[in-house]
Structure 1
Amino acid sequence: MTLTTEDRLAIHELIAQHGHLVDDGALDRLGEVFTGDVAYDLTPMGGAVLNGVEAMRTSALELGDRNPVAHHVTNTVVAEQDGEVTARSKFLGVRRDGSVGSGVYADLLRRTPDGWRIAHRRVSLRREPLKP
């Protein structure tokens, strides 16, 4: 598979859409970003692997006001190797008290009849600066 410019643009838009949907509370639209069988891996942060869009939605609702008030994604790099399409993005989550957390989304993407979707996302936080 060779990624076209249109593919790359669609993937960037897809990754950006996640933050808008979550921040708007449009959790019923997560299927526009993720495959129905997505594995949303929070284990690097001490959480679990959420299997499926419904598990993601339930988890966000359970977090309630502990959810960030804003999600920002930047520095997205899309790659294709051996038929797999991946993206790696930096994110910032702004909490209600103004504190900010930083991390990395590592995504495996799949082209579906409805367009590109994230099939697997691993979420890890950045807690320590570079130590040469």
Structure 2
Amino acid sequence: MAVDREYTAAEVASRLAIEQVIARYVHAIDDRDYDTLDDVFTPDAKFDLSAAGGISGSWAADIKPWYAENLGVFENYFHTFMNIRVTLDEDGAGASTKSKVINPCGIRGEDGELHHFEIVGSYDDRWRKTTDGWRISERTWNHGWIWGDYPQAGLPAGDF
């Protein structure tokens, strides 16, 4: 059972800093500003995006180039993160978060029409406090569902 307690000033500062990094991610990904994401993830951050038909790998070597190459299929998207649960490690050097995600987006179908739908799921992230601030060192996507006018409904979710 969770017990509410007062947070120390250091805990409050870490929680706010982590939430600001999440905000940096949301705005950068929606703006397709992949270089700004270097200030969100450690270079060796490990990803598992396979639940959405994506890839697994490290940020700098695999995921960043994959984002730049594959996310262009979305004509628009608008990430929303909410209900962020932050758990700080006792030593203050690490943390974990679980974020609920709703991502309204649109893809042009083979019919030439723009199809809008929502991708729903959550991210489990591990964090490391670095000399440059808090950075995500591991990210796993937990796929919930896709609803709406998904033009590739016969394909596995995310197989774009």
2:102 aligned with 1:95, yes or no? no
Percent identity for Structure 1 against Structure 2: 29
Cα displacement (A) at 1:60: 1.2
Q: Deviations over 1:78-116 (max 9, x none)?
A: 002454410000111111232111010000000000000
Q: 2:83 aligns with which of 75, 94, 114?
A: 75
Cα displacement (A) at 1:73: 0.7
RMSD: 2.0
Q: Judge which range, 27-36 or 53-62, deviates more.
A: 53-62
| Aligned-partner Cα distance in 1 for 2:145–2:13 | 35
TM-score (norm 2): 0.71
TM-score (norm 1): 0.85
| Aligned-partner Cα distance in 2 for 1:65–1:36 | 23
**Aligned AA (2:126):** L
Any conservation in 2 of the 1:91–1:104 contact (CA below 8 Å)?
Answer: yes
2:96 aligned with 1:86, yes or no? yes
2:15 aligned with 1:8, yes or no? yes
**Structure 1 unmatched runs, 5+:** none
Any conservation in 1 of the 2:52–2:143 contact (CA below 8 Å)?
Answer: yes
- Which structure has the larger Rg? 2
Structure 2 partner of 1:42 = 49
Q: Tell me which protein shows more helix as a share of its residues.
A: 1
Any conservation in 2 of the 1:38–1:51 contact (CA below 8 Å)?
Answer: yes
| Aligned-partner Cα distance in 1 for 2:71–2:145 | 23
**Structure 2 unmatched runs, 5+:** 1-7, 107-114, 147-160
**Aligned AA (1:69):** Y
Which protein has greater RCO, CA pairs closer than 8 Å, 6+ apart?
Answer: 1
